[in-house]
Structure 1
Amino acid sequence: MPIVTTDADIIRRSLTRPPEFAALFDRHATPVGRYARRLVGSDAGDDVLSETFLVAFRRRADFDFSRDSALPWLFGIATRLAHRQRAAEAKRWRILQASARVAAETAVSDIDALVERADASSRLAQLAPRIKRMSEADRDTLALYAWGDLTSEQIADALGIPVGTVWSRINRIRRVLRLELPTEEEGNDGRADVRA
């Protein structure tokens, strides 16, 4: 029976043999890439994925070797990089919108069409205004829970916060989103599912 190597073992070995780090990429690129693409879109998500593993490689000596799995650590890095990506994208959007004010009315309607197409699903589109009004911390928690499929403990690890704070945020998120969801979207227990 093959010996299962933990992520901590891989990272520890990579400190003296850097090529060993590739095994961590092979193991976690798919879930981290999926999460990054959901946060910032397909093209930018691939950039966040690449940069996540580059940052992780550079900071591998800082990894908490008492943890067997590096996935929460990688999701935390990806979340921070996505913040930067969204800030840069928001800046580009502000510039584009400023130039659109000067442009013809058709240019403004083209921008509106682009924004509408950016909403990946109708359900998320219904929730988008409510999600946008959430604090950045709540949005990060929601993304890690819904798209990263992490447990409360893993979310706490990824964001560097107590698990009780994660529970409070998830309860608050559920209350906020429940107000937005139609009745047929509610589960058997009458509570809406926050997973998008």
Structure 2
Amino acid sequence: MHNSRNGPARLGVPPDLFDAHFAEIHRYIARRLSADVADDLAAEVFVVAVSGGYDAAMGAVRPWLYGIATNLVARHRRTEIRRWKAISRAAEREAAGHEDEVLDRVAAARFARPLAGALAGLKPRDRDVVLLVALAGLSHAEVAAALEIPYGTVASRLNRARKQLRAVLGDVNPLKEDVDG
């Protein structure tokens, strides 16, 4: 991930802030985009954070960093959508071409294709909420802080996205109903 040459001091980021949150932010971005992009974007999150002058009065630092990360990911939205569509196509080809493989691999491929397609079909703002909950494990309150939207808006977007995902996935619930905020 990061090395001393490109570490927090070189970026002008306080090491304690960087050390406490870099791996988590990197993981979130890597799951949304790719590990290669995450290396650069995770570092950029902290550069933006420092240049933005974080103020403790703004609230917890973790959701704020996730908000910055989500905004940076938005700049790569086209790449993200192309990636989900490519995963969908690859999963479809894999399922068709390897019917004799282990059942869980086939089941995963069948699930990945419609899920990837469904995620690509969500409105970007709804997809952001779903992925902050599903990939980053943020609560509704943390998602609201990260995206700078009202708590109720998080619930509305998540509910709408769940309905759209269920329509594609059938009875499979892509997110637990009891995710609390």
Structures share fold, TM-score greater than 0.5: yes
Which residue of structure 2 lines up, in the alignment, with residue 60 of structure 1?
53
Hey, what's the Cα distance between the residues in 2 that align with 1:86 and 1:137?
11
Q: How far does residue 60 in structure 1 lie from its aligned partner after superposition?
A: 2.1
Amino acid at match of 1:81: L
Q: Which residue is equivalent to 2:174?
A: 193
Q: How many residues align?
A: 146
* Secondary structure of residue in 1 paired with 2:168: coil
Q: What displacement does 1:85 show? A: 2.6
For the 8 Å contact 2:12–2:50, the answer to whether it is kept is: no
CA distance in 2: counterparts of 1:47 and 1:125, whole angstroms: 28
Alpha-carbon shift at residue 46 of structure 1 (Å): 1.1
Percent identity between matched residues is: 33
User: Contact 2:13–2:47 (CA<8 Å) still a contact in 1?
Assistant: no
Q: Which residue of 1 aligns with 2:148?
A: 160
Q: Gaps (5+ residues) in structure 1?
A: 1-17, 94-111, 187-191
Partner of 2:68: 77
1:18-42 CA distances to partner (integer Å, 9 max, x unpaired)?
A: 9782101111111101001011111
- 1:42-72 deviation digits (Å, cap 9, x = unpaired): 10011110100111111124x35252x3111
CA shift in 2, pair 1:54/1:19, >3 Å: closer
Q: What is the identity, as a one-letter code, of the residue corresponding to 2:33?
A: V
Give how far 1:175 is off.
1.2
Q: How does 1:32-47 map to 2 (within 5 A)?
A: 32-47=25-40
Equivalent residue, structure 2, for 1:106? none
If the length of structure 1 is used for normalisation, what is the TM-score?
0.65
Matched to 1:82, the amino acid is: V
Matched, 1:172 2:160: yes
Answer yes or no: is the 8 Å Cα contact 2:49–2:65 preserved in 1. Answer: yes
Note closer, same or farther for the CA distance 1:66–1:53 as it changes in structure 2 (3 Å cut): closer
Deviation string, structure 1 residues 126-165 (Cα, Å, up to 9, x no partner): 2122221211100111111111110001101111111001
The match for 1:135 among 99, 123, 134 is: 123
Whichever of the two has the greater Rg, that structure is 1
Matches of 1:77 and 1:126, distance apart in 2: 29
Aligned to 2:90: 116
Deviating above 4 A after TM superposition, structure 1's stretches of 4 or more consecutive aligned residues are: none
Structure 2 length-normalised TM: 0.70
Shift of 1:173: 1.3
| Distance across 1 between alignment mates of 2:34 and 2:13 | 30
| Contact 2:126/2:157, CA 8 A, preserved across alignment | yes
